[in-house]
Amino acid sequence: MLYVGIDLHKDHHTAVLLDCWNEKLGELQFENKPSAFPKLLARLEPYSKTGWKIVYGLEDTGGYGWALGLHLIQQGQWVKSINPAFSAAKRQSYATVHKSDSWDAECVARVLKDDLKHLPDFMPDEHFWVMRQLVTRRRGIAKNLTGLVKQLHIQLSYVYPSYNRFFSQVDGKTALAFWEAYPLPSYVTETTPQALKQFLQKHSNFSCSTKKAELILHCVQEDGNNHVTYAEEKELVIRGQVRQIRFYQDELKKVEAKLKQMLEQTGCLLHTMTGVDVVTSAELSAEIGDIRRFPTANKLARYAGVAPIFAGSGGKGRYFKSKQGDRSLHDIFLGMAVRQIAVHRTTKTPRNPAIYAYYQRKMAEGKTKKQALVCIMRRLVNIVYSILKYQKPYALPIADNSD
């Protein structure tokens, strides 16, 4: 056997070759571009011709190593995905700890040799990989949008002390149109109630009435001191923020529309669950990938860090909450669990009666809120696994007293 550990980077990769006796046979550095990948195969061709069985180990198969892993698979090579925590633990296990591209690649190769049968094969599925890129893009847009809205709140508080009484959402369609057209109180005082009413009706599709225009005029007059200092600069900031918010809102819609389309292509039915929208469905699908990677729901639970970890010695021990696994996937399940026990705002009835009853039962048993939520998360893993595996919609269960 020949074990090829590869340390992956943005610009270049480093490969180290180990034999089955942990002897280093060679090292190779090549660029991270498809035209340079055949260089690695050419370096290993003499070994394959003499009967060596070659296996490759890649750490970052979802990022910088995706293109290389895909190329190797297309060339009929055997490729394994290696958790970076494994190679880091291998590096820390030596008396003298040092770090370099060459040593990192060798540690990957050593993990590959020692734990070959336990490591997952690299299974490239470009559909889920692209979905992960879109989900990451959406998170970035949403984060930037949230920051911009906060900045707009701060800026409006300087010029419109009562701005929060104008509209229910400061970044709504009508609100943004108003801030852009009337960035300062002087613009409002110079217009008439009728003109302001017509402006609001035009941009709100006639949902705003005369009372809204009168309210805004009243608040501006009540606030007083309409002559804002550095008016030109503050106007520039507010209008710029409005343009940026609109841009990010449009980008968000485009990404979400594409995610919805990609979900429909896979036949995903996660959106049929209570409290799960298209965005959450896409996040789950992107993080889990092909459900066939997990033989059972227990495997998926461990991957998500939902299954408890047993720690014991001398015949004694207990289970602890896991802090391992995919933390992004863990946080998605946590958000889902919180939504399962939510109640309707008006009727105060639970959105998911069965899960809500299960939550109350766990609380009655003496569990804390966090422990009860973990129990719900574990149940949700089973539900998500079944929906993805059997392609059947979620049916809201009837609440009962059984587990």
pLDDT at 150: 97
CA dist., res. 265 & res. 287, Å (int): 17
> Whole-model pTM above 0.85?
no
CA dist., res. 123 & res. 291, Å (int): 12
CA dihedral of 93, 94, 99, 101, whole degrees rounded to 10: -90
Q: Which domains occur in the chain, in start order?
A: 2-124 (3.30.420.10), 130-258 (1.10.287), 270-390 (no CATH)
Backbone dihedral region for residue 51 (phi beyond 0: left; psi -120 to 50: alpha; all else: beta): left
Structure tokens at 320: 């602890």
Using the CB atoms, write b or e for 277-300: b if 16+ within 10 Å: ebbbbbbbbbbbbebeebeebeeb
Q: Where are the alpha helices (DSSP H) in 94-192?
A: 101-114, 126-159, 173-181, 185-189
pLDDT at 38: 93
The SS3 assignment for 196 reads helix
Each residue's pLDDT, cut to its tens digit, for the chain (403 residues) gives: 999 999 999 999 999 999 989 899 999 999 999 999 999 999 999 988 888 999 999 987 668 888 899 999 999 999 999 888 888 889 888 888 888 999 999 999 999 999 998 888 888 788 888 999 999 999 999 999 999 999 999 999 999 999 999 999 999 999 999 999 999 999 998 888 899 999 999 999 888 888 999 999 999 999 887 677 898 999 999 999 999 999 999 999 999 999 999 999 988 999 999 889 999 999 999 999 889 889 999 999 998 999 888 777 787 877 777 777 888 899 999 999 999 999 888 888 898 999 999 999 999 999 999 999 999 999 999 999 999 999 999 988 765 655 4
CA dihedral of 235, 240, 246, 247, whole degrees rounded to 10: 170
CA dist., res. 395 & res. 398, Å (int): 9
DSSP single-letter state for residue 122: P
CA dist., res. 15 & res. 179, Å (int): 56
CA dist., res. 107 & res. 102, Å (int): 9
Query: How crowded is residue 345: how many other Cβ atoms within 10 Å of its Cβ?
Result: 6
Query: Of 62, 7, 1, which is closest to residue 40 (Cα–Cα)?
Result: 7
What angle do the packed helices 369-390 and 327-340 form, to 10 degrees?
100
